[in-house]
Structure 1
Amino acid sequence: MKTVSLALSLLVCAIHVYILAVEMFFWNKPLGMKTFKLTPEFASATTAMAANQGLYNGFLAAGILWALVFQQVPSLAFVLACVAVAGLYGAYTSTAKALYVQTAPAVLALLALYFSR
């Protein structure tokens, strides 16, 4: 189960690195507009806001990596819980897709982490 927990935690980390890249560097490019279903006008008007969101997603990814590298299980659980809550809020305020992209992988990683102990 430790392998499953590690794999799922790395998956959550990779998802957030991807979100960072799209929000910080590709928001008003075809990849960003397609990923988030944006109009060129909206993407242009919200570029700075999206970059800020991307930075926060990067912090979540960094927290997961830090916890994995230093084998800090409580810290990993905390950051995964933060990801799950962020996904719930994103689903409530933006798109239900956040439940599948953020919340579900984080909850699965948390469950695997819990059962690996």
Structure 2
Amino acid sequence: MILLFAKIVIGVVAILHLYFLWLEMFAWTTKAKKVFRSLPEHLFEPTKTLAANQGLYNGFLSAGLIWSLMIEDPVWQVYVAFFFLGCVSVAGIYGALTASKKIFTVQALPALLGIVLLAIHQFL
């Protein structure tokens, strides 16, 4: 049962990062203005390429998490999920320390929850 909850959390984190990919790569100068209200509007166009690069990295994180859900070997599946959730957690913690505290709640906390659930599953 714990593993099922962990996989649901992994799926949610993967979907969040697909959303981040879309927002940063394709909607930076439109929808992102509503999400990143603290960024002055005149900076969106000049930072479009930087945001797209960041979105691409979020897509890689999402791809890794989705891949982890498709691996048939249960041990390998958990290790790959640990790795990508760890990457998301580090990125979220760094973002919270350097950009906005909200990033911790939106990005790091769900990934850390996934790590905790996987760890509980490993020890049961």
For structure 1, which runs of at least 5 residues remain unmatched after alignment?
none
Q: 2:58: which partner in 1? A: 57
Q: Could you tell me how far apart the structure 2 residues matched to 1:91 and 1:4 are? A: 25
Q: How many residues align?
A: 116
Structure 1 residue 47 corresponds to structure 2 residue 48: yes
Which whole-Å deviations, capped at 9, do the CAs of 1:82-102 have from their partners, x for residues lacking one?
Answer: 100000000111100111001
User: Is 1:89 matched with 2:94?
Assistant: yes
Partner of 2:17: 16
Deviation for aligned residue 1:40: 2.9
Q: Which runs of 5+ in 2 are unaligned?
A: none
List per-residue Cα deviations over 1:57-114 (Å, max 9, x = no partner). Answer: 0000000011110142111101101100000000111100111001100000111111
In structure 2, distance between residues paired with 1:6 and 1:36? 29
How far apart are the structure 2 equivalents of 1:56 and 1:87? Answer: 13
In angstroms, what is the RMSD of aligned CA positions? Answer: 0.9
Query: What letter is aligned with 2:97?
Result: Y
For 2:40 and 2:70, how far apart are their aligned partners in 1? 40
What amino acid does structure 2 have at the position aligned with 1:55?
Answer: L
Question: Are 2:83 and 1:78 aligned?
Answer: yes
Which moves more between the two structures, 106-115 or 34-43?
A: 34-43
C-alpha separation in 2, matches of 1:45 and 1:4: 41
SS at match of 1:45: coil
TM-score by length of 2: 0.90
Among all aligned residue pairs of Structure 1 and Structure 2, give the percentage whose two residues are the same amino acid: 41
Partner of 1:66: 67
Distance in 1, matches of 2:36 and 2:11, equals 23
Per-residue Cα deviation, 1:30-57 (whole angstroms, up to 9, x for no partner)? x110111133310011000000000000
Compute the TM-score of the two structures, normalised by the length of structure 1: 0.95
